[in-house]
A and B are shown apart, each in its own frame.
Chain A
Amino acid sequence: MGRLRPIKIEDLLQRTVYDVDEEPHIEIIKQEGVPKELTKLCPCSCYSMVGERLLYSYEGCLECGLCRVLSEEWGLKWTYPKSGRGVQYRFT
C-alpha cells in the first residue's frame, strides 16, 4: 500500500451531517477583534482571507468554540445555532 492521500477539508465536511440555519450564528463584527490565525486553526476551515479581509462562513461550523476563545468579545458575535440547527453528530 502506498502512502494515503489526505482528504480535503471541503470533502471531509461532507461526511458530517448538518441542518444549516438560514441565518449565521457567528458573525465577524470588527476585523481587528478576530485573529487572522483562525485560517490555520479553525478545525473546519470556516475562516478564509479574501485580500486583507477575514471572512467567516458558518455552514461547516462544528460549534467547537475555538474562535470565541481567540477573539475579542466586541469583534465576534458568537452563539450556538437556534432550534436544534447546525451540526448533527452521530458517531462522536
Chain B
Amino acid sequence: MASNALPGKFDVIVVGAGPAGSAAAYLLAKAGLKTLIIERGRGAGTKELFGGKIYAAPLREVWPELDKEAPIHRWVGRERISFVAGDRVSTVEFKLGRRVAFTTYLTEMAKWMAGKAVDAGAILVDEVRVDEIVVRDGKVVGVRSGPDIVEADVVIDAEGVNRMLLEKLGLAEKISPDQVALGVKEVINVGKKNIQEKLMLDDDEGMAWFMVGDVTNGLPGGGFLYTMKDTIALGLVLHVGKAYEAAKKGLLEKTVPQMVEALRTHNFFSKIWGDADVLEYGAHLTIEGGLRFMPRKLYMPGFLVVGDAAGFLLNTGYTIRGVDFAVYSGKLAAETVIEALNNGGPTGENLKRYEDKVKASFIYKELVKHRGIEKVMEDPLFFTKLPALLNTVFAKLYEADYEEPTLLEAVTSSLEESEISLSRFMIKMLSIMSKL
C-alpha cells in the first residue's frame, strides 16, 4: 500500500469489507469518524461465499432502508428438511406466515454494505492484504501490509473465519479441525420460471432446503439448497475433523468435489434443475460451535474483533445464522468505539464494554442456548440413523401391498431393525431437541 496515498492517521481501521466490517465502518463513518476499510479482494464481496440466507431484522437496525435498497433475491416463504436414505426421501415443509429472512448472493450483498459505508464517508482500499496488526507497548496502533504501516486509534478485526491476524496477535489458537466445517457450493442456472414452477413459489418467494442423511457419505453435515432470483445455490457442509478421520481410515470413497456432484446429480433432487449449467463453484470454511471458536478476549487496548473471526456463527442443522450475527457485532463494536473515543479513549477498560454488549445481545444468548449443538450434529444417530429410521417407518406405512401396520407397529419394528431401543431413542431425541 502506498503510504503517500493514505496521509495522516485514521480514527479507525477496519480489516475486511465483509458484513461485520462494513456494518462497523458504516456506523463509524456516519458518526463522523475518519474510517478506513482495508479489503484483500478486488472490491468488496469478491472473496465472500455463504449458503444463501440472511435474517433481516438485525440488519434493519443498521440499515432501515434494507428492504427497499438491498440486493434481496427472494424472501424465504418455504423451509424444507429432507431425510435421505438410499432411494427413499422423507420431507417436511413449512410455509412461513411472515417474512423473516431473504436469500441473496453474499458477493452482491457485501458490495452493497461496503457501498453504504463509503457513502457515509468511509474510505475503502481494496486489493490490499493486511499482514499484521501492529502492537506497541501492549496497545494496537495500526496495521501492516508488506513494508507499509497505517496507524489508527482503533483497529477492528473483521478478517473472517481464517483469522490469521488474530492468531498472530495471540488472541486465538490455530483452528482445530473439530472447530470448523467445509462448505462447498455450486450455483446452478435454473431460470426464474423453472424455480417458481417446480418449487411452487411466488414471484419473490424463496425456499431454504436442508438435506440430512445419505448426501454426505456418512459424514456429519448436510446438504443445502437456496433459491435465488434465477439460480439455485446447492451444496454441502461437512464436518472437517470427522471428514479427516474418515479419510485417514480410508473410509472416503469419493473426493469432496465428487460428493457435491453426487448431490447435484441425485436422482430425486436433480429433477429441479436437470442439466442446467453450473455458473460457479466455490468453497469456504464455516464455524462449528461458535462458543468454542470465540477468542479468549474480544478486545485489547485499541482493538476489537467482530464477525466470523470472533466465532459469531450458529449452525443448528436446520438453519445457519452468520451474516446477521456479523452485522450486529459490527454495530456493537462501532457503538463501543464511538463511546470510547468520546470518553477517555480506546483503553482496554473502555473497549471491554464491547464484550459486555455482545454478552447481553441475542448473539451470545443464541450461542449459549445452543451450546453443544455441534456434538448432536456429530452424532451418527442424528445424521445417519434418524434419516434411515424415518424412511423405514414411512416405507412400512406406504410400501405395504396388502396389510399396513399401525403407526405404532411401524415405529417399534423400525426401531428394532435399526437396533435402537425405544427408551434410548426417546432420551436421545429429548437431548437433541434441547439443543436444536
Chain A interface (Cβ < 8 Å from any Cβ of B): 1, 3-7, 9, 12-13, 15-17, 19, 35, 37, 39-45, 62-66, 68-70, 73, 79-84, 86-92
**Is the beta-carbon distance between A92 and B107 smaller than 8 angstroms?**
yes
Q: Are B182 and A12 touching (Cβ within 8 A)?
A: no
> Is the pair B240, A69 in contact by a Cβ cutoff of 8 Å?
yes
Interface segment among B244-252, B367-375, B387-395, B396-404: the answer is: B244-252
The 8 Å CB contact of B261, one of A6, A35, A69, is A6
Which chain B residues border A17 with CB–CB below 8 Å?
Answer: 280
Whole-angstrom CA separation of A1 from B49 in the bound complex: 31
A84 to B244: give the CA distance in the assembly, Å: 31
Out of B244, B262, B265, B275, name the residue touching A41 (CB < 8 Å): B244
B312 within 8 A of A: no
B270 within 8 A of A: yes
In the assembled complex, the Cα of A31 lies from the Cα of B243 at a distance in Å of: 21
B171 at the interface (CB under 8 A from A): no
One of B39-47, B192-200, B377-385, B412-420 contacting the partner:
B39-47
> Which of B26-34, B281-289, B336-344, B424-432 forms part of the interface with chain A?
B281-289
Which B residues are closer than 8 A to A by beta carbons?
A: 40-42, 45-50, 105-107, 126-129, 161-162, 164, 174-177, 180, 182, 184-187, 228, 231, 233, 240, 243-244, 247-248, 252, 254-258, 260-262, 264-265, 267, 270-271, 274-275, 277-285
A91 and B182 in contact, given A1-B271, A7-B278 (Cβ under 8 angstroms): no
Q: Do B257 and A9 have beta carbons less than 8 Å apart?
A: yes
Cβ of B244: which chain A residues have Cβ within 8 Å of it? 35, 37, 41, 70
Q: How many A-B residue pairs have CB under 8 A?
A: 155
CA distance A68 to B175 in the complex (A): 9
Tell me, rounded to whole Å, the shortest Cβ–Cβ distance linking A65 to chain B. 4
Nearest chain B CB to A92 CB, angstrom units: 4
User: B283 contacts A3, CB within 8 Å?
Assistant: no
The verdict on A5 contacting B265 (CB below 8 Å), with A39-B255, A92-B187 known, is yes
- Which residues of A are found within 8 Å of B252, using beta-carbon distances? 40-41
Give chain A residues whose Cβ lies under 8 Å from the Cβ of B247: 37, 40-41
Determine whether the beta carbon of A40 is less than 8 Å from that of B256: yes
Q: What are the residues of chain B within 8 A of A39 when measuring CB–CB?
A: 255
Q: Within the complex, what minimum Cβ distance (angstroms) separates B113 from chain A?
A: 15
CA distance A63 to B182 in the complex (A): 12
Q: A35 to B424, alpha carbons, bound, how many Å?
A: 38
Contacts of A12 in B (CB 8 A): 186, 257, 261, 278, 281
Does B47 lie within 8 Å of A63, measured CB to CB? Answer: yes
